[in-house]
Structures are given as structure tokens and as C-alpha cells.
């Protein structure tokens, strides 16, 4: 295993000097390859109560977890895993504090055997696993996310929340669903819809009009649940079109399926996860301009005072050209009950400016943002940054992994330090649109032109980048991330899955607030 240390200052000075604050020292990161993990993965990462780092990813034998006891310098694969049948790359992992010396590790994968989420938990450091039961074993489930809440008053074990969406059945009726475990992930109760019929969020979700949820998180002090997801919407009613939500978006644009280039970001909140307790609030709305604000993810996070943040990419142009996308941020301080309101969101702030050439034409850009927050206004975003692309994406750019930090993110114009943590290892080489499955296929020697069916082609037949990777904070509020390589990216011994850990530099908070 090779240890790679990135000298961040040079990377910073070469990137976006307009947003650099000279009084902020950039962090230094080290990046190592996860031994035995495949390329083309969607790895996730977490930290347990003892400050050990846990990652989950894929091998040819299925999904496994890896553990690091030396802050990411080395990782060791657990000897066993939970029951799986036909493993896919959709995985997730969380750590739970049961009050014992050894934490509980809970991990999951999306399985083609039943199109559901075989999941398991280990209370002995990954040596043995018990299979979870309940809503993880349904059907037609896609893109699972898990979050840990406070201990349940009945069982004394942490609550675990599962967020997912229904896939093929979403053509008829689509929703974002949350299932609750009151016993630390051993069993999950029935799924509860987060959007109710008649609401704007529900209308947006119909006709399968979302690529899936972005993530879920819980305030560890209050138990308030926050789920984030993206949708499209029909054109602005003021321009003469009736806003018929997701189905209307398919009329006025491509009929997308599986891969949906969203123009809106929603935040669903609940105190308990029970039916009838969910409220949906629109955080970002670019439906009037048609600019894409998801590219599969618009990541949400809470700081240690409960402020809600949403980081997202924003394309300069509408679908299907995603070239030059910026990274934006909105935030809101909830009320005393943890509720957010439609009118309470900040104006979007730019963390990474849109990519453009000397003539102002879109070039390169950013993609797949992942967010974490510490003290108020202190955030980090892991994302892919495109480099070396030409006009009209010829040549196609290389995508490199970056981590940016801001310590005044609550300001209208946040200062940002940005570090290329890839050590020259390209994750992908592709156009921004190809990264999100926007392509054309050849039928009998003819290229299928762009049109209403183009989105279905992209969602079912076109190659694309993996969508999800991981970000977390350790107990000292240092940033951690895990990320893969894929199509056109690293080859040979450089291909695989990586873990990046902050070694020195400013930290996002003063204490471990996630385990109160």
C-alpha cells in the first residue's frame, strides 16, 4: 500500500484564487488505496466511538468492511461479511455506540437478488455478522441511506433510520420512504412515505421523477430527522405552462428514468419518522431556468447547533449540457423545534465557481458533492473537479477528487480553501454529461438524437460514473472521505477505491459533538 501526501498550498494557488482567504491555512491530507477493493465502486465511510475509521466497498466476492486504527494510514478488511446474493455497488455503513467497549458496525448493500438491501450488524469488530430483518428485505428498493439517532427509550439501543426510493414501481407511484429501527438496526419497521399526495413534493416525485435520495441525517441532541432528495418540476406556470410536477417535467423535457437530472432540492423533516409526521420544504429551485442542481446528489448536513446546509452542483446551462457546473451552498437555522421553512433558506453562495474559458464558454466544472459540517459556518465538501477539458469536451476532462473547507460558510460570500487530494490519480475521464449517463446510442448504424426518450436511454443503456461516495468527521473534527476510480480514469495498480484523511490544518469543530 502506498501512502500519498498532498501538498495542498500549491493545489490551492492553482485553483480559484478569487475565493482564497489568505488568513486560512489549507489542510494537509493523506490518501491511501483500500486494499483489495474494486474500482467503479460507491464506497462509504464512518467513525466509531473509539475513533476507528470504517469503510465499506466491494470486492469480487461481495461487499466487505475495512477498519483503520491509525487514522487512515492502513486498513484491514474484516474476515467475514453479512449474507448477500447478487451484490451491487450501492452500499452504506454506520457505527453505533451501544454503551459497550466494542461499537456496533452496521452495513448494507443493494442486492439484485431481490432488489432490496441485505444488511448486517457486527458487535465484535467484523468477525461475525447477524443479518438485519424487516424493511431491508422488501422489493423494488433503490439507493439506501442510513443514519443513527439517539437511543430509543424502550430498547435502550440507538434508533437507525433507512431512507430509500422505489424504483420501477415509481412509474405508477413514487416516493421517498423512511423505515425506522428501534433496536440498533436488528429489525426495521414498515416504510413511511415522506411526501403526501397533493403536496408539491409528491407531485414532483411522480413518473419516477427523481434519481433517488441524496442522504439522511439526524440531530443527535434532539432526534430530529432530515432527509434530502432532488426532483424536477414542470416549467414556470407564469410562462404559460401548468405545473404538473414530475409528470409535467417529462412532457416538457426528456422522460428520464433511474438517472434524473433534478432542478429542485427538497428537505423532509420529522420528529419521529412515524406516518403523518413528515413535512417537505423546498430548499433549491432552478425549475424556471432548467439548470441541473443534483447530478444524482444534493448533499445535506447539520452543524453542532442544528443549522441545516445543502451543497449541490449547478450547471450553467439546462439539460443535457452539464459542462462547467459550479458548487453552491444554501443554509437555514431551524426554529426551536428544528423545523425549516420555505422562506428561511439563505441565498445560494458559490463555493466553487462555474468553469469557463477565456470567452466565457462553459468548460470543465464540478460534480458529485458530499458535505459535512462542524461548528456553525464550518463545512467541508468533497467533490470531483474536472481538469484539462477542451471546447465541447474535446478532449474530455479528467476528474480529480477535491476537498474544500470554509470557516465562514454562513456569510454571503464564503472564503474557501481547496485541495486536490487525488495525488494525480484521475477518478474518471469523461464529459460532464457522460458522467451522468447523458449519451446517445447507435441504432442500426444511426445515432439516436436528443429527444423525450433520451433520458430513458441514459437511465437504462448508457454508461455513467458511480454516484455516491463517503465523507465523515473523526472525533477530532478532521475530514475523511472515500472515493473510487472508474471509466477512463486510473488504470493498473492505481485503479481501485481510496480513503483520504486530514492530517493537519484547521478543524471544523472543537469537540466531538456527534456523541453527546
User: Buried (b) or exposed (e) across 262-296, using 16+ Cβ within 10 A?
Assistant: bbbbbbbbbeebeeeebbbbbbbbbbeebbbbbbb
Q: How far apart are CA 149 and CA 106, in angstroms?
A: 13
Model pLDDT, residue 296: 86
Task: Name which of 492, 490, 484, 481 is nearest 426 in CA terms.
Answer: 490
- Mean pLDDT over 95-121 rounds to 97
Model pLDDT, residue 490: 96
Span of 130-134, 205-209, 469-473 with lowest mean pLDDT: 205-209
Task: Name which of 49, 99, 104 is nearest 82 in CA terms.
Answer: 104
Strand-pair category, 398-406 with 379-387: antiparallel
Model pLDDT, residue 248: 81
Cα–chain center distance at 220: 20
Sequence-ordered list of residues with C-beta below 8 angstroms from that of 2, at least 6 positions apart, any chain: 32, 33
**Does residue 150 register a pLDDT over 90?**
yes
Mean pLDDT, the chain, integer = 90
- Would you place residue 234 in the very low, low, confident or very high pLDDT band (cuts 50, 70, 90)? confident
**Does residue 15 register a pLDDT over 60?**
no
- Would you place residue 201 in the very low, low, confident or very high pLDDT band (cuts 50, 70, 90)? very high
| Residue ranges with strand state E in 303-437 | 308-314, 326-332, 349-352, 365-373, 379-387, 398-406, 417-420, 428-429
**Does residue 2 register a pLDDT over 90?**
no
- What is the architecture, at CATH level 2, of domain 3-504? 6 Propeller (2.120)
Q: How far apart are CA 465 and CA 486, in angstroms?
A: 7
Amino acid at each position: 500500500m502506498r501512502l500519498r501526501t498532498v501538498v495542498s498550498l500549491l493545489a490551492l494557488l492553482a485553483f480559484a484564487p478569487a475565493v482564497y482567504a489568505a488568513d486560512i491555512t489549507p489542510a494537509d491530507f493523506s490518501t491511501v488505496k483500500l486494499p483489495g477493493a474494486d474500482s467503479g465502486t460507491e464506497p462509504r465511510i464512518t467513525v466509531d466511538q473509539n475513533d476507528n475509521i470504517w469503510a465499506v466497498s466491494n470486492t469480487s466476492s461481495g461487499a466487505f468492511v475495512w477498519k483503520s486504527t491509525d487514522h487512515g494510514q492502513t486498513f484491514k478488511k474484516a474476515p467475514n461479511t453479512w449474507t448477500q446474493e447478487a451484490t451491487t455497488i450501492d452500499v452504506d455503513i454506520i457505527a453505533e455506540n451501544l454503551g459497550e467497549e466494542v461499537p456496533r458496525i452496521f452495513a448494507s448493500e443493494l442486492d439484485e437478488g431481490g432488489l432490496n438491501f441485505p444488511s448486517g450488524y457486527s458487535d465484535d469488530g467484523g468477525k461475525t455478522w447477524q443479518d438485519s430483518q424487516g424493511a431491508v428485505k422488501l422489493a423494488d428498493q433503490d439507493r439506501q441511506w442510513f443514519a443513527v439517532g439517539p437511543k430509543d427509550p424502550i430498547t435502550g439501543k440507538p434508533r437507525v433510520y433507512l431512507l430509500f426510493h422505489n424504483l420501477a414501481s415509481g412509474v405508477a407511484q413514487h416516493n421517498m420512504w423512511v423505515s425506522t429501527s428501534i433496536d440498533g438496526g436488528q429489525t426495521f419497521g414498515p416504510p413511511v412515505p415522506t411526501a403526501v399526495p397533493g403536496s408539491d413534493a409528491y407531485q414532483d416525485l411522480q413518473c419516477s421523477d427523481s434519481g433517488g435520495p441524496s442522504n439522511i441525517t439526524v440531530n443527535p441532541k434532539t432526534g430530529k430527522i432530515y432527509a434530502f432528495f432532488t426532483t424536477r418540476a414542470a416549467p414556470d406556470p407564469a410562462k404559460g405552462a401548468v405545473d404538473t410536477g414530475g409528470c409535467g417535467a417529462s412532457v416538457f423535457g426528456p422522460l428520464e428514468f433511474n438517472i434524473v437530472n433534478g432542478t429542485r432540492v427538497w428537505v423532509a423533516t420529522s420528529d419521529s419518522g412515524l406516518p403523518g409526521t413528515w413535512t417537505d420544504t423546498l430548499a433549491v429551485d432552478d425549475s424556471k431556468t432548467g439548470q441541473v442542481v443534483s447530478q444524482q446528489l444534493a448533499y445535506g448536513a447539520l452543524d453542532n447547533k442544528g443549522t441545516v446546509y445543502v451543497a449541490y452542483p449547478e450547471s450553467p446551462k439546462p439539460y443535457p449540457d452539464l459542462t462547467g457546473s459550479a458548487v453552491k451552498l444554501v443554509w437555514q437555522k431551524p426554529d426551536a423545534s428544528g423545523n425549516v421553512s420555505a422562506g428561511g433558506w439563505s441565498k445560494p453562495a458559490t463555493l466553487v465557481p462555474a468553469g469557463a474559458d477565456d470567452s466565457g464558454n462553459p468548460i470543465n466544472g464540478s460534480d458529485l458533492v458530499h458535505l459535512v459540517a462542524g461548528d456553525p459556518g464550518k463545512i467541508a465538501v468533497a467533490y470531483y473537479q474536472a481538469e484539462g477539458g477542451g471546447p465541447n469536451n474535446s478532449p474530455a476532462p479528467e476528474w480529480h477528487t477535491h476537498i474544500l473547507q470554509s470557516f465562514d460558510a454562513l456569510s454571503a460570500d464564503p472564503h474557501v480553501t481547496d485541495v486536490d487530494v487525488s495525488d494525480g490519480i484521475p477518478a474518471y475521464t469523461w464529459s460532464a454529461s457522460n458522467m451522468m449517463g447523458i449519451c446517445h446510442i447507435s441504432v442500426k448504424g444511426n445515432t439516436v438524437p436528443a429527444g423525450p426518450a433520451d433520458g430513458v436511454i441514459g437511465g437504462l443503456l448508457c454508461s455513467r460514473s458511480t454516484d455516491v461516495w463517503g465523507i465523515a468527521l473523526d472525533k477530532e473534527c478532521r475530514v475523511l472521505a472515500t472515493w473510487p476510480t472508474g471509466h477512463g480514469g486510473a488504470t493498473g495498480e492505481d485503479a481501485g477505491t481510496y480513503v483520504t484523511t486530514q492530517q493537519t490544518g484547521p478543524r471544523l469543530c472543537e469537540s466531538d459533538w456527534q456523541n453527546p
